[in-house]
Structure 1
Amino acid sequence: MVYCLPGIVASQSPNLLTGVARSKGSDSAIPSARSQGSASSASQPFLHVRRQVGLSDLVGSIPDPAVIDVSNRYIITLKASVDMPMHIHFVKEIHTGIDGSNVFEGISHRYDFAGFRGYAGQFDRQVIESLKKNKDVAAIEADQIFTSSDVVVQQKSSSALGSISHRELKDLYSYVYDSSAGMETFGYVVDSGIKLNHVEFENRAHNGYNAIKLKDFVDSSGHGTHVAGLMGSRTYGVAKNCSLIAVKVSDRGISSEAFLLDGYQWAVKDILKKRRKARSVINISLAGPYSKAVNKAVDAAFSKGVSTVVSAGNQHANATKRSPASAHGAITVGSTDSRRSKNGFSNFGPSVDIFAPGYKIRSPWTRSKTATYILSGTSMSSAHVSGLVLYLKGLKNLPNAKKTKSYLLELALRDVVKNPAGSPNLFAYNGSGR
């Protein structure tokens, strides 16, 4: 690293070579050849899924269906005024009173945070019909599969860090930033886990919570490690001095709405309990179909001051039809290439708040303590913006989610994104003055 101005650091972004094959029609492509930190995999059908959405076959085999099986599973959102213990007791009574109720699990998760209340579980149709008539219930939705928002690409690595620290497209392999670099801030990575012992994390990454109880904390897909690296690794991260906290909600690139809400609940509660609103961000680089419950949870956290950055999704579709991308309280990020053109895969529309680099991005990987890999997708874009949020919070001491979002969008470069497709034409910028 070279210090070029008082309190300002310029680091040279790497420019390395690898090789790739891409597939069409899904959130991710399957690597066809091995490179540093890469692994090949074969596409397999996912079993017992009620609503299947762009399944990621990024690495390894498909998860155990017993872990990510959403058959007969529902998310129930309650009204804010409801006596939750009394309602839960009522649900247990009607569930156990039905013939063959032992076939269904019943309530598996409870959610009560930041004014958001609800639960998830596996229920017989009779229970669901009864709940539809219950005055406590605000919404009932079938549980859904959520997948990581990445597309594998192995070409030259990006000039992503340079892009967010320069107004113009020049000298992009030089990242200019304040030396505080997110010091004493906390990035909650709601994803597949983090490879904690990777040298790029310098002992700043820690396990927080595992929503998938039948799986250990190991990052089996590499996605969470890659995302965490863009947020805060020493070479590829925006906030190079931040602490990173793994919140595991997915296994091999796949999660469910119930697992996502469970992990998100833990992160929000941890931030509020430890009074970290002004020093933290939650990153969700996962996407699924529109969900009232997921959007309401993110909006509730926003109202309590908790910042959440999410990926817009990779369907080349309007992000208003995706969650959590369409949540008003989220900072929703679309993807651009190195020339600041919206990528063809990136979702778009009024729900997108800002764009950031998401094409051919190198970051830490799970194959070894030094492995790196190149991915493309709005997962990478949201990770860059999450890192930027931590960087700005550390620099400006932004007190809550509302102030943070306003400042981020105010600071952004205007009208530099080519073909924003109805999205606000804003590009992430760290305010370096360059």
Structure 2
Amino acid sequence: MGRTLSVSDVQRQALSVAQQYGAKVSRTYAHALQGFSAQMDERQAEALRQDPRVAFIEQDAVVRISTDQANATWGLDRIDQSDLPLNSTYSYNLTGAGVNAYIIDTGIRLTHTDFQGRAVTGFDAVTPGGTANDCNGHGTHVAGTVGGATYGVAKGVNLHAVRVLDCGGSGTYEGVVAGVDWVTANHVKPAVANMSLGGSASDALDQAIRNSIAAGVVYAVAAGNDSGDACSKSPARTAEALTVGSTTNTDARSSFSNFGTCVDIFAPGSNITSTYNTSDTATSVLSGTSMASPHVAGVAALYLQGNPTASAATVGAALTGFATAGRVTSPGTGSPNLLLFSGFIQPGGDVTPPTVSLTSPTEGSSVQGTVELKANAADDVAVKRVEFWLNGQLLGSDDSAPYALAWDTLQSFNGTVSLVAKAFDTSFNAASSTAVSFTVQNPGFASYDSTRKAPICANVGAACDTGSLIIGRGTKGPELNAPNTIGSSCADGNSGTFHVDESLDRLRIATVDGGPLLPGKEVTISATIWAWSTFANDKLELFHTADANNPSWTHLGTLAPTKAGSQVITKTFTLPAGSLQAIRGLVRYNGTAGVSCSTGSYDDHDDLIFALGEVDAAPTAEILSPTATALVNGHVTITARATDDKKVDRVLFYVGTKYVSYKRNAGNEFSLTFDSTKFANGSYPITVRAIDSAEQSTTSQPVSVTIQN
């Protein structure tokens, strides 16, 4: 509500605003948010939304834990080592003593023996004034992974129960925000909070967590268990929090784990044994990103013990910077391939980070094809490795100087990208270079047109290709600039899971003869699609418009996939006239053929705009003199006229079948004199052949003359 208010001011203003619109206040928030929750109808909510004192309003939603029952234990064993195989030990130098961990969940069984009296009541949003006792088990399991004596990462941390979910593992954003608000107001530093819960996107919860982080609390949050894009979930999409995906004991991304650019790190989450609520000695084996997140919260607590004044950003940079790179198999498109590693946390020693700078490419440069990324790095002891990160994604690393990496830009997309080099020394101190921005510009690949809202090849070529610009569908997968339809005119469906359900991942149009895209040319559309496992009801619709600035779509055909998963489907047609044209691909599940903008929840639409060159007409040629049937002798002058839509380069002269010579001229008339005495008397056809600047040629009609010397 604008300026910072005291608790009493928030309560007073909340009641005043609510009463004005006939709403009934349920809770007020004064720390993580300055606002309130209330009961009201749709009309009252819309009126409240228009009040200038209100920044935003959103409908309350259900939040749930995310676990699956399974059987095994291994998580602690994995995080203290960079590589498999496991060695049945968990080595640690610190315990998290003096650090406070706030478990925002279903509560904690405080009397469980594994907590050794370190677990205390914090806040209960489900039963106001309650003890935050766990009647579900999820929160106790999470707390055990964070700080249990047997199953915990940080075995000396103080555990605070913040109950926001009920006995069934469900709650509302109203209650979750209340829990975050309490943590923000009452936390004792150094502090870390774990949120192994999630639901639909919530601006209120995201803002509450951001404010809590700004107040000094480190947050580890679960990425979610939908095998989809974590950026569609709260709190997973909160950029300032550490969003955690789940792995199995073979370092594969767990089948349920969300992924994408909002994920910061992966940690063990499948088949995790920890404490449970059914008795003071109970354990259970659970799976989920809910189990992965507390591993990260525990390592954050270890780091905070040694660095008690570190900010959330510093803690996050340490955990991601020292994470083991490249170990997670199938991390999901857009995800960083980083696996949690606790072994970098040392009780003392070298604390001086290395220095690192990028030397190539340079700021503002343009690159294409395979380029060499280069960096300089130095350390007071020794540099362990240098990593190269493009748009937040690890491309690869080099362990020895000179530090370089060959990168195939064709695996990216045309447009501006940002590169950072990260250097690590042998004591796991880390530093990042200043980011360098440069442009990828591969011929024949499209760039995103922010005006037309779709990929475009503005220069004429033999082909136009989206590359990786459109991979995925809407919020399902990493699709950049979704929906990628001209003017954002046709939205994608957002049901299902990336690369389980349907998507259109790439479009390419190319001439059959390899020449430039021109009106009248035969072209082939190649569409890379992802079909569902039962693909009989999946179809690819292809459309074309001759005017991308004012599209009117012509249906080119309905095509069917031949298998599940990724495949390329092609269609050939002839380009009509038009200087800027476009194609549209539509992958649909069920629905109607020939509809260019469908509404199916699994449907994916993408456009590709491309420029065409002008058709270069062949030249014209005619003989002006001598005229037909003329009698000629001695030196004879042939005069011809040749024209072209661009320029006539030269005119070749023939008497009979014999080539005589050629002439170049800036005008349209070309003359050549030849000696007829070198030919036997008789009748001869005279012709000229005009050739233009594109090497197109035309031969004139013959003029028959008689040589008589």
Q: What CA distance in whole angstroms lies between the structure 2 residues aligned with 1:196 and 1:301? A: 25
Could you say which residue in structure 2 is the equivalent of 1:298?
Answer: 209
Q: 2:147 aligns with which of 228, 232, 235?
A: 232
Query: CA 1:85 to 1:211, structure 2 compared with 1: closer, same or farther past 3 Å?
Result: closer
Please give the residue correspondences for 1:106-117 in structure 2 after superposition, counting only pairs within 5 Å: 106-114=24-32, 116-117=33-34
Paired residue for 1:93, among 4, 16, 19? Answer: 19
* Residue 194 (str. 1) matches residue 111 (str. 2): no
Question: Which of 119, 129, 147 is equivalent to 2:64?
Answer: 147
Within 2, Cα distance between the matches of 1:121 and 1:187?
30
Partners of 2:309 and 2:68 in 1: CA distance: 33
Q: Is the 8 A contact 1:309 1:332 kept in 2?
A: yes
Cα distance change on mapping 1:117 and 1:341 into 2, 3 Å? same
1:293, 1:232 → 2: CA distance?
Answer: 29
| CA distance in structure 2 between the aligned counterparts of 1:86 and 1:268, rounded to whole angstroms | 20
State the SS of the aligned residue for 1:163: helix
For residue 122 of structure 1, the aligned residue among 35, 39, 43 is 39
Report how far residue 411 of structure 1 moved. 1.2
Question: Matches of 2:20 and 2:41 in 1, distance apart?
Answer: 10
Match of 2:315 in 1: 404
Q: Equivalents in 2 of 1:300, 1:283: separation in Å?
A: 15
* C-alpha distance in structure 1 between counterparts of 2:107 and 2:143, whole Å: 9
Partner of 2:565: none
Q: Quick one: percent identity of the two aligned structures?
A: 35
- SS of residue matched to 1:174: coil
Q: After TM superposition, list the pairs within 5 Å mapping 1:279-428 onto structure 2.
A: 279-421=190-332, 422-428=334-340
Instruction: Note the C-alpha offset of 1:88.
Output: 1.8
1:93, distance to aligned residue in structure 2 (A): 2.6
Per the alignment, residue 171 of structure 2 pairs with 255
Asked if the contact 1:166–1:172 (Cα under 8 Å) also holds between the matched residues in 2, the reply is: no
> Is the CA contact (8 Å cut-off) linking 1:161 and 1:173 kept in structure 2?
no
**Offset from partner CA, 1:385-425 (integer Å, 9 cap, x none):** 11110011112335221111111111111111111112011
**Would the aligned equivalents of 2:110 and 2:133 in 1 still touch at CA under 8 Å?**
no
The answer as to whether partners of 2:14 and 2:35 remain within 8 angstroms in 1 is no
Q: Deviations over 1:336-369 (max 9, x none)?
A: 0011110110000000000000000000111111
Superimposed CA distance per residue, residues 92-119 of structure 1 (whole angstroms, 9 cap, x where no aligned partner): 4324xx5xxxxx7x111111215x3221
Which entry has the higher C-alpha Rg, 1 or 2? 2
Q: Which runs of 5+ in 1 are unaligned?
A: 1-77, 99-103
- Any residues of structure 2 matched to 1:255-274 within 5 Å, and which? 255-271=171-187, 274=188
**Partners in 2 of 1:258 and 1:124 — Cα distance?**
16
Question: AA paired with 1:426?
Answer: L
2:123 corresponds to which of 188, 197, 209:
209
**Closer/same/farther in 2, CA of residues 349 and 182 from structure 1, 3 Å limit:** same
Q: Secondary structure at the match of 2:92?
A: strand
SS in 1 for 2:52: coil
- How far apart are the structure 1 equivalents of 2:39 and 2:60? 9
Structure 2: gaps spanning 5 or more residues? 345-426, 429-709
Change (3 A) 1:297 1:410: same
Q: What is the correspondence of 1:60-71 to structure 2 with a 5 Å cutoff?
A: none
Q: Secondary structure of the equivalent of 1:189?
A: strand
Read off the aligned partner of 2:239 and give its amino acid letter: H
1:287-328 Cα shifts (integer Å, max 9, x gaps)? 000011111111122223321110000011100100000001
Give the Cα separation in 2 of the matches to 1:124 and 1:335: 40
Letter in 2 for 1:234: A
CA distance, structure 1, for counterparts of residue 117 and residue 336 of structure 2: 38
CA contact (8 A) 1:242 1:390 kept: yes
Shift, 1:158, TM fit: 2.2
> SS at 1:328's partner residue?
coil
Deviation at 1:81, TM superposition (A): 6.0
CA RMSD of aligned residues (A): 1.9
- Measure the CA separation in 1 of the matches of 2:42 and 2:205: 23
Change (3 A) 1:84 1:268: closer
Task: Rate the CA distance shift 1:431–1:265 in 2: closer, same or farther, 3 A.
Answer: same
Q: Structure 2: how far apart are the matches of 1:92 and 1:171?
A: 58
Partner AA of 1:108 in structure 2: S
TM-score by length of 2: 0.46
Q: One-letter code of the match for 1:111? A: Y
Q: Point out the more displaced range, 243-252 or 80-89.
A: 80-89
DSSP-derived class of the 1:129 partner:
helix
Q: Secondary structure at the match of 2:273?
A: strand
| Shift in Å, 1:129 | 2.2
Give the Cα separation in 1 of the matches to 2:226 and 2:126: 26
Which residue does 1:36 correspond to in 2? none
Q: List per-residue Cα deviations over 1:243-267 (Å, max 9, x = no partner).
A: 1000011112001000000011111
1:103-150 residue CA offsets vs partner (Å, 9 max, x unmatched): x7x111111215x32211111333212212101112111100000121
1:363 is paired with a residue whose SS is strand
Contact residue 305 and residue 402 of structure 1 kept, 8 A: no
Residues 182 and 241, structure 1, Cα contact 8 Å, conserved in 2: yes
- Give 1:171-190 correspondences, 5 Å limit: 171-178=86-93, 180-190=94-104
* Structure 1 CA distance for aligned equivalents of residues 142 and 248 of structure 2: 17
Counterparts of 1:380 and 1:80, CA distance in 2: 39
Q: SS at 1:383's partner residue?
A: helix
Query: Whole-Å Cα distance in 1 between the matches of residues 309 and 137 of structure 2?
Result: 31
The whole-number CA distance in structure 1 between the counterparts of 2:4 and 2:192 is 28
- Does the 8 Å contact 1:181/1:391 carry over to 2? yes
Deviations 1:213-252 (A, max 9, x none): 2665321110000000000001110000111000011112
Contact conserved, 1:159 with 1:172, CA < 8 A, in 2? no
Number of aligned residue pairs:
340
CA separation in 2, counterparts of 1:297 and 1:420? 29
Tell me, yes or no, if the aligned pair for 2:10 and 2:29 is still in contact at 8 Å.
Answer: no
Q: Which letter does structure 2 place at the counterpart of 1:161?
A: L
Distance change in 2, residues 1:334/1:220 (3 Å):
same
Tell me, in whole angstroms, the C-alpha distance in 2 between the residues paired with 1:293 and 1:194: 25
Deviation larger for 424-433 or 358-367 = 424-433
